[in-house]
Chains A and B, each alone.
Chain A
Amino acid sequence: MPTIIRDLPETSSYWAAIWTLCPLPDVHVLCDAPIGCFNLVATAVPDYTDAIPHIANVTPSVITEKEVGGSGTGAAVKRTWENLREAGLLAGKRLIVVSTAESEMIGSDLSDLVTQLEPGTTFFHSESLSHDEWLGRDRVLQWAWEQYGAAGAADLAAEPGLVNIIGPTYGCFNSTADLHELKRLIEGAGGRLNQVFPFESTLAQMPHLARAAVNVVMYKEFGHTLAETLGRPWLHAPIGIRGTIDFVRRLGQLLGTSAQAEAFIRREKQTTLQAVWDLWKGPQSDWFHTTSIGIVATGTYVDGLITYLGEELGMNIAFAVRRPRRPDDLDTETLRDLLHSRPPSFVFGSINEKIYLSEGGKKQTTFLPAAFPGPVVRRSMGTPFMGFHGTVYLVQEIVNQLYETLYNFLPLDSAYARAAAPAAGGPPPATVAVAAPGNLPWAEEARAVLDAALEKLPFLARISASRELQMQVEAEARARGIAEITRQLAAEVLNTHRK
């Protein structure tokens, strides 16, 4: 049975190669690509994932019918290289030629051709027809080390106290804030930053990765192969209170700065983390026990959110799906059905999950962006999921959205809706619930329909919603001159207005 993809959540290793190599300012990538593969990777998508106007140091060979029809891409790549050189775009740059799905499809292997281009030009076969973006990033980091790092690193010794961060690249959700927090944690634990790679680094500096005593790999999805190759102790970046304490403590031990690390933890407890303690002592945390959470994100975020929101704060994790998907994770069809029928109070996810909530008309579920794909600006340093600041940011977001849910269910005088409706010129409004004197009698089966409808709503909203839904059904009954609410009427109104 062929595999069907619904709303693909992760891209290919060609994208990974561009998004990993192009943050290095001394690299120019020549992608062996048709115009579309160039535009999507270099402009149309990073405009909205990384909030950059475009990636300037990538140029396509522009595969056309001619190349596909038999001539191959060699001549086009060579011509592009000549133009790049003539335009002065290669001054001070390393040229890397990268294959795409289409160039692989027509069997274009340029490993020989690159030896005829700029001296030192290399060819990265991205394996784009079979590898996903996570494997792609991991592989290209390792490949870059072998090509540009290892030789120069041979006689570099590790310096005590120096720490590298491996990751992020373009297309890593929320990386600005997470990276900022991670640097703060490393310095707090007594470490000194050596390199952040590839962001904030150059290809020429790559050998200097060998100088760090410890490596921190930001994501579980990629970078571990390079960290293993570097041969120093390495840690993953943390999410949650306990995870972050463990991280700072472990880093302190590895660097021999345990006293500093412990002092940092104490200080954070008295400052940054006080917000979590106050919210815990206040009325806010009482809601956590009835707050349900669904998560669709990278394994890094999924594991962190399960630990922090679920185990530490006591929220109910309704489901969690990792990217890349593990065999025991929900498949997309099942996930979509779940979001259509019985979504949790919060969904952390990508635009795919947001669309499924829209399809199901699930207005009571709050969507919080936590993964790509989807257009979202995440360039502020103040929105981390990772580290101590992350624990505060996450709980603050959730509580504010709970307030929002509550607000949306508070009664609003119906006269305004009735007055606004004709002026707007839009479609006729759904029955406006009008508070009428007294209640209409409800048949027992009708009451059961109402209860079922309420069951589907997030807990916090139910008190206000129960009155709201009751009023809607009764308003419809009064409009039709029905004296008692029947099961049919309740089902009709509640299924139309709130699936």
Chain B
Amino acid sequence: MSDVIPLHASPGSQKPCQLHPQSMCPAFGSLRILTRIEGSHPVMATDTGCLYGLTFVTHFYGARKSILAAHLGTSELMSGEVVESTRAAIEVAAREPGCRLIPVVSLCVAETAGLPEEMLPRQVGEAEVVLVRVPAYAIHSHPEAKDVAMAALLRRLGTRDGAREEKTLVVLGEVFPADPLVIDGLLRKMGGAGTISLPGRSIDDLRRAARAGALAPLHPFYKDTMSVFRGWDLPIVGGAPVGASGSYAWLKAVGTLLNLDPALVNQVAEAERDKAQALLNAQPLSGRILVTGYEGTELAYARLLVEAGAEVPYVSTSIGADPLVLPDELWLRSRGTKEIVYRKTLEDDVAALDTYKPDLVLGTTPFCSIAKERGIPALYFTNQLASRPFFLSSGLAATIGFMQQMLTRRAQYEWMQTFFEDDGQEAAHAHHHS
């Protein structure tokens, strides 16, 4: 494959042709969130190719949940039957046992044909019907579609009526399940009442979230969702509990916004910082790592790796540049990261591979396969990193331990490369003709 990729020996001198943008289909971000909610039965409005692909990845990465759709072929799309067909699918979804929520996921062709919200019911039986517009041509990356879905759900379901939960923190962002448990534990130690994790499994958490004391977005792409919370006057904690200094600062900020006892907060935050620092001191990383996923969380991961001692010269992500990412970007640049690419393409990442010759790559599947073809250890960021504990000292320990293990694996990758590059080259490629 390397022979068909443009090589750029001198970085910065020439921008590679941007040919293959890297993101899951943006709509998948919304489906992942929407299918995992108990009692939620999504209805999709799209063409069959799109529906097949999104159902496939949802059944692999989202939930074991049947997916309904309106049949939108040429005749339905051209004769304005999109609404009628979608309404019929909503009726079927409403009959699923325990159905309380019907997200209508409107995709490229339905958005192009037009699907006016006022033509859809707001409620069928017990179920709320919520329109989520995620055409790939307008959203650009799947992390940003998560934001669209969260914001749509909260706008409809979040309610300020009812008892306020002043000492409760809303933790926003899809993370490994152990992370919110640890955050919750520390918050209670600091005198907080607990956490609400979004996106989550419970519809009631979406309603409650509006009455919590503060919002903590752990990921930097929940722009629209944050504006919903701002509309409810909830204060927002910046940053995320990443690494020693990041965790300390974050816990202190949470304590301040929730009006917790400063002495107690300080005690917990210092203990956590010391624990993280001890881990960093005990097992520092050494090696050059490229962080090139498409989850929108790459800068935070790079930050942790740098704090742990790794060299991360290049970071790329699928999301666009945004003030929310700026603190991490500045932090990384001041510590030696040379390039940070937003809305990246495969060609950007390959150029970085040529330039920086890393010891380890955390990337998308196409990019990882190119790294592996060069005998470089590589991991699919989405499967291997975004699905591991990451935050606070416990997440730091898990992440660093894994990275250390991977940095010792070069020999296997080199053996495979040498073996297949030799006579095996043709055999290895015969099936996919790259």
Please give, as numbers and ranges, the residues of chain A lying within 8 Å of B19 by CB-CB distance: 59, 80, 83-84, 87, 89
Bound Cα distance A11, B53 (Å): 8
What CA separation (Å) do A355 and B59 show in the bound complex?
Answer: 9
Segment touching B, from A128-136, A226-234, A415-423: A128-136
B47–A54 touching, CB < 8 Å: no
**Which residues of B are found within 8 Å of A379, using beta-carbon distances?**
431
A36 to B318, CA, bound (A): 13
Annotate B75-109 by CB proximity to A: 1 below 8 A, 0 otherwise.
Answer: 01100010011001100100000000000000111
Contact B135 A34 (CB under 8 A): yes
Q: Is the CB of A8 within 8 A of B434?
A: no
A373 close to B55 (CB less than 8 A): yes
Tell me the complex Cα distance, A7–B71, Å. 11
Contact of A36 among B55, B85, B108 (CB under 8 A): B108
**B21 pairs with A128, CB closer than 8 A:** no
Known contacts A4-B89, A8-B69: A41-B55 contact under CB 8 Å: no
Of all chain B residues, the one with the shortest Cβ separation from A63 is B137
User: Could you tell me the distance between the alpha carbons of A37 and B135 in the complex, rounded to whole angstroms?
Assistant: 11
Query: A183 interface residue, CB < 8 Å from B?
Result: no
Q: How far is the CA of A62 from the CA of B71 in the complex (A)?
A: 25
Q: Please, which residue of chain A has its CB at the minimum distance from the CB of B93?
A: A4
- Chain A window 41-70, contacts with chain B (Cβ cutoff 8 Å), 1 for yes, 0 for no: 101110110101111110110111101100
Q: Which of B6, B108, B113 has the most CB of A within 10 A?
A: B108
Contact present for B430 and A36 (CB under 8 Å): no
Q: With A and B bound together, what is the CA distance between A301 and B433 in angstroms?
A: 27
Q: Is B365's CB under 8 angstroms from A67's CB? A: no
**Is B355 located at the chain interface by the 8 A CB criterion?**
no
Q: Pick the contact of B365 from A22, A43, A50, A336 — CB < 8 Å?
A: A43
A424 to B85, CA, bound (A): 47
With A25-B433, A129-B74 as known contacts, state yes or no: A45 contacts B57, CB within 8 Å: yes
Query: Please, which residues of chain B bring their CB within 8 A of the CB of A359?
Result: 64, 66
Known: A56-B1, A101-B49, A358-B64. A37 touches B17 (CB 8 A): no
Residue A448 lies at the interface, judged by CB distance under 8 Å to chain B: no
Let me know if B48 is at the binding interface, CB within 8 A: yes
Query: Bound complex: CA of A36 vs CA of B56, how far in Å?
Result: 13
Chain B nearest CB, measured from A107 CB (Å):
10
How many residues from A make CB contacts under 8 Å with B? 76
Q: Which chain A residue lies CB-closest to B3?
A: A88
Cβ contact within 8 Å between A5 and B138: no
B397-434 at interface with A (beta carbon < 8 Å) = 430-434
Contact partner, B57, options A4, A44, A336, Cβ 8 Å: A44
Residue of A at shortest CB range from B343?
Answer: A35
Question: What are the residues of chain A within 8 A of B88 when measuring CB–CB?
Answer: 1-2, 4
Interface string of A3-16 (1 = CB under 8 A from B): 11111101111110
Closest chain B CB from A62 CB (angstroms): 6
Say yes or no for A106: interface residue by CB 8 A criterion: yes
Residues of A within 8 A of B366 (CB): 43, 53-54, 56
Tell me which of B108, B347, B432 contacts A55 (CB under 8 A): B432
Which residue of the partner chain, among B84, B85, B432, contacts A50 with CB atoms under 8 Å? Answer: B432
Chain A: minimal CB distance from B136 (Å): 3
A433 CA to B228 CA, complexed, in Å? 51
Q: Chain A: which residue is nearest B346 at the CB level?
A: A54
Name A129's contact: one of B21, B47, B364 (CB within 8 Å). Answer: B47
Distance between Cα atoms of A392 and B232 in the complex (Å): 65
**A102 interface hit (Cβ, 8 Å):** yes
A105: chain B residues within 8 A (beta carbon): 47, 77, 108-109, 112-113
CB A174 to nearest CB in B, in angstroms, measures 14
Residues of B contacting A100 in the complex (Cβ-Cβ under 8 angstroms)? 49
Please name all residues of chain A whose beta carbon is closer than 8 Å to the beta carbon of B6 when the two chains form the complex: 87-89
Partner of A10, one of B52, B67, B92, B113: B52
Taking a contact as CB atoms closer than 8 A, the residue among B27, B48, B74 that contacts A11 in the complex is: B48
Q: Please, which residues of chain B bring their CB within 8 A of the CB of A10?
A: 48, 52
The interface bits of chain B over 136-150 (1 if a CB of A lies within 8 angstroms of the residue's CB, else 0) are 111010000000000
Within 8 Å of chain A (Cβ to Cβ): is B20?
yes
CB distance from B268 to the nearest CB of A (A): 24
CA distance A100 to B47 in the complex (A): 10
Bound-state Cα–Cα, A200 to B84, Å: 46
7 further contact pairs, Cβ within 8 A, besides A39-B24, A40-B24, A379-B431: A12-B52, A22-B433, A36-B26, A63-B108, A102-B137, A129-B73, A356-B66
10 nearest interchain CB pairs? Answer: A36-B25, A40-B53, A12-B49, A53-B369, A36-B136, A11-B52, A101-B47, A25-B433, A3-B71, A2-B85
User: Can you list 7 A-B contacts (CB < 8 A)?
Assistant: A4-B88, A36-B107, A39-B24, A59-B20, A200-B430, A352-B66, A373-B59
**Chain B residues within CB distance 8 Å of chain A:** 1, 4-6, 16-28, 47-57, 59-60, 64-71, 73-74, 76-77, 81, 84-85, 88-89, 92, 107-109, 112-113, 135-138, 140, 347, 364-366, 368-369, 430-434
